[in-house]
Structure 1
Amino acid sequence: MKRLIWLAIAGLAAPLALSAQTTANPIVSSAREIYARQSKLIVAAAEEMPADKYSYHPTPDQWSFGKVTSHIAMSSYAVCSMLSGTAVPDGAKVSDTDSKDQIVAGVKAAFDFCDKALGGLQDSSLGDTITFFRGTHAPRARALFELTGDLQDHYSQQAGYLRLNGMLPPSAKPRK
């Protein structure tokens, strides 16, 4: 009988313990996980590519590695500004004509800005209307999807460019 009582108590307590472990902001928390993984990979790829290969592009119509990487910085600033309602910092300008060191520093600074924007974001604000690209209006969630999708897309470009230059991208390297 004692076992039966303990099993009943455990059966009642288990759902309470599981509900206590749920995340308060599951959408934003999930996006932060994607963002954290991709931002680390992007910085590692930018550091991996030699400076003399920043002008590399597989075909004449494709962007150079430097263009892809500087675009990541500038688009991250723009989207994280939309997410947070905070203006892009003065002087936050990264160009494919900058040196590798300047581009890497620019990407890191953009990701620091995004860290703050995502740190204050709540699921409850994702339905709020923001001014999106080209002056259109969209829910804040659209900007969050744009950020994570853009980082995944452009990291895949970086990874491909590294492979085409005989280097293993950060995501393909053995974990330490």
Structure 2
Amino acid sequence: MANANYLFCSTVKGEENPSASDFEKTTSKAALVQALKDAFAYCDTAYQIADMKAMEEVTLMGSMKGSRLWALVFNVAHNNEHYGNVVTYFRLKGMVPPSSQGGGM
């Protein structure tokens, strides 16, 4: 997820991907948690794009074309898909995922 967040958000921001790391190879829980926090923080400014720039076309992953807004929606959908996978693991381990615990997330 951290890799994808950097990819999507750097595209929206019109910047080179600032992360040289491949977090798929990271095995330390602390390092993965920090990578996710950093990636989400990097994306915060991408989600604050001006309305007039939201519909500008960008190219994602070399060939997919769409608006900056489309890339952000794609990022949210991607993150939600992974959260759905995590919910399954929670349930298999007899745990209740945060979104089902009540009281908000």
TM-score, normalising length: structure 1: 0.54
* Structure 1 gaps, min length 5: 1-71
**Which structure's CA Rg is the greater one?**
1
| Residue 4 (structure 2) aligns with | 75
| Residue 113 (structure 1) aligns with | 42
Q: How does 1:1-176 map to 2 (within 5 A)?
A: 72-119=1-48, 121-175=49-103
1:86-137 deviations in Å (ceiling 9; x for gaps): 2222444312542111111111110010012223x12221221111123333
* Preserved contact between residue 6 and residue 19 of structure 2 (Cα < 8 Å): no
Structure-2 change in CA distance of 1:123 and 1:92 (3 Å): farther
**Structure 1 residue ranges (4+ consecutive) displaced by more than 4 angstroms after TM superposition:** none
* Structure 2 gaps, min length 5: none
Distance 1:90 1:133 in 2: 15
**Number of matched pairs:** 104
For 2:4, what is the secondary structure of its paired residue?
helix
Larger helix share, 1 or 2: 1
* Percent of aligned pairs with the same amino acid: 30
TM-score, normalising length: structure 2: 0.85
Deviation at 1:160, TM superposition (A): 1.1
1:4-54 deviations in Å (ceiling 9; x for gaps): xxxxxxxxxxxxxxxxxxxxxxxxxxxxxxxxxxxxxxxxxxxxxxxxxxx
* Preserved contact between residue 57 and residue 68 of structure 2 (Cα < 8 Å): yes
Structure-2 change in CA distance of 1:106 and 1:86 (3 Å): same
Root-mean-square deviation over aligned CA pairs? 1.8
